[in-house]
Amino acid sequence: MHYGKIPGVAKPVARLIQGTVMIGSDKLDYSFKLLDDIYALGGNTFDAAHVYGQGDNERTLGRWIEERGLRDKVVIITKGAHHNADRRRVTPFDITADLHDSLARLRTNYIDLYLLHRDDPAAPVGPIVEVLNEHLAAGRIHAFGGSNWSHHRIEAANEYAARYGLTPFAVSSPHFSLAIQFKEPWPNCITLTGAANADARAFYASNNMPLLTWSSLAGGFFSGRFRPDNLDAFTAYLDRLCVESYCYPENFARLERARQLAEQRGVSVAQIAMAYVMAQPFVVFPLVGCANGDEYAANAAALDVRLAPEDILWLEKGD
């Protein structure tokens, strides 16, 4: 496993972050085995959220950490202030309420890295930065950032922090993958893919802010299951999201080039796609949702696959 540093987080952070949306108290044996296997492979960093499983996700992760006695060994990332059907809940009140819920569910008195799950561009950044700094000063969180915040809003928040001597956002968590995201899978998502987001990629490359990129393998697009001639056959919820978000001619061309490069290198297509994410000029900690330890090990092996700049250009554009 490779590890990196995130400002404010004292522990080493696994460069491959395991998502935990698939765990739950209704499948405790499976959940604990998955977490055990990933931890044994060096995966010490886990991503959760206030909204996953209506809180059961955090409760299950917290129970595993407590029963294994690992709180000082693992990095907990969790997210709050997600919108609901009635309100865009990116307010000091909602941030505080969600954070206290998460602390209780996770059976801990601090979160290593706290992310705002969504943004409300109409809300001024000042009160948001201030309340996060209050929780930082109280020790409830050790660092914070934004998930699905545009780089313009991240920049505005950090300019506010600099102006008033406050701690800035430490990380950003947008989507990024070799496959261009043509349609957002869920409302209010932010992607760095495609020509339209070149400025955002340049922003992160220039300021060296760590990125926790979600759906780095494009929701299973690089598994080989999806082909231009079989897309109507997919009916499961997550499969349909992949079809609608990524299954477009330009991405199938990228997939074919990834296959060719994978054959040359003796690795899998998914490992080439992960290596592409890691080869960017910005610091990336990919978020993955591995269903078992073997999947996690295969993704971790991709951290050692090196792509040259010409490989990147060829994967993106071909000859």
Query: Quick one: DSSP state of residue 24?
Result: -
pLDDT tens for 134-151 read 999 999 999 999 999 999
List Cβ neighbours of 213 (8 Å cut-off, separation of 6 or more).
173, 174, 175, 176, 177, 192, 277, 284, 285, 286, 287
Q: Which fold has domain 3-317?
A: TIM Barrel (3.20.20)
Cα separation of 154 and 115, whole Å? 12
Is 318 in contact with 34 (CB distance < 8 Å)?
A: no
Residue 188: name the closest of 116, 268, 111 by CA: 116
Which is it for strands 3-4 and 45-47: parallel, antiparallel or unpaired? unpaired
Cα separation of 103 and 110, whole Å? 7
pLDDT tens for 92-117 read 999 999 999 999 999 999 999 999 99
pLDDT tens for 229-287 read 999 999 999 899 999 999 999 999 999 999 999 999 999 999 999 999 999 999 999 99
List Cβ neighbours of 102 (8 Å cut-off, separation of 6 or more).
48, 50, 58, 78, 80, 111, 114
Q: Band of the pLDDT at 74, cuts 50, 70, 90? A: very high
Query: Quick one: DSSP state of residue 87?
Result: -
Q: Is the pLDDT of residue 318 over 80?
A: no
Q: What is the pTM of this model?
A: 0.92
